[in-house]
Amino acid sequence: MSAFLFAELHPDLILDAIESQGIYPSSGLLALNSYENRVYQFKAEDGLRYVVKFYRPERWSQAQILEEHQFSLSMAEVDVPIVAPIVRDGNTLFEYQGWLFTIFPSVGGRGFEVDNLDQIERVGQYLGRMHQKVGTTLFEHRRSINTEEMLDQPLDFLRDWLPEGLSLPFFTIAEQVADAAKAAYQPKSIIRLHGDCHPSNILWRDGPMLVDLDDARNGPAVQDLWMMLAGDDNERRLQLEVLLEGYEAFCEFDNSELALIEPLRAMRMIHYMGWLARRWQDAAFQRAFPWFNSQRYWEDQILALKEQLSALQQPPLSLTPAY
């Protein structure tokens, strides 16, 4: 099945797949904001709301998806707030006409406030609890964060994408950033991570609720922390201190991992560009990211990469200001 045939995932097939698990929708399907997979919210005859997620073919194996599910269920068992999949007859992953899908309870909430220090501390507490309680058992089938996948492969794929006249300046700076990130990304230890823990993947109810483990993998603990930080150095330092105050109530943090923040940021930047290019055959990406692959887009990326190279050459963020 081609990775770009989501057009074949029509509403009747979606409804039949859901009903194959004994859940009968009583409402229409509301498409949620997901590009990598296809995700829909609906209300069922039992009066409850659910979310069904259809996985992009050829991205993850069944074993890799099941590791994600086991991770989320393990988190729920130790009271880490996570939206875990529904278990039916001992299963969390289902198949219908070649499509793999999972059903979740629909959980509402407000957006996480990135400038709210009380909320940041609470998130730190739960991330520390997650890492301490279920982080040490590594994924067997899911890949660890690595520079080949995050840097080399995206750059190789992008070589045919750059507009004429921008290829040389782009790859000149991109390769410098990649080399600097590879030299700096030397994690001393890895654990099992959420992997994509940014503010949009946190809902706020009476406290934080983590969502979307689709990018869960092994890596350094700081990967689940650095995307919480925003603003200038002083703002990020304050956020980091508060985040770690909550985190270290449950799990010790190795401050030497702060040196991994900028290489991880560089890896995310380059991987994101490659991700958009790889998915460009999918019409949903062309609708959602109409600015991609334009002259202006690549000019902006060249500037962003120059700024990132400068960040990689600076001392890492520390918990005490440098004088």
Catalytic residue annotation:
196, 212
User: What φ, ψ does residue 192 adopt, rounded to 5°?
Assistant: -85, 130
d(CA 107, CA 86): 13
Beta bridge partners of 102: 53
Annotated binding residue 218: no
Asked whether 230 and 239 are in contact (CB, 8 A), the reply is: yes
* Dihedral of the alpha carbons of 281, 282, 287, 293, in degrees to the nearest 10: -30
| 234 appears as a binding residue in the annotation | no
Nearest Cα to 308, choosing from 215, 219, 186, 175? 175
Enumerate the H helices of the chain as residue ranges: 11-19, 62-77, 117-134, 147, 153-158, 167-184, 233-247, 261-278, 283-288, 295-313
Rounded to 5°, angle at Cα 217 from 216 and 218: 145
From the annotation, which residues make up the binding site for Mg(2+)?
Answer: 201, 212
Enumerate the known binding-site residues.
201, 212
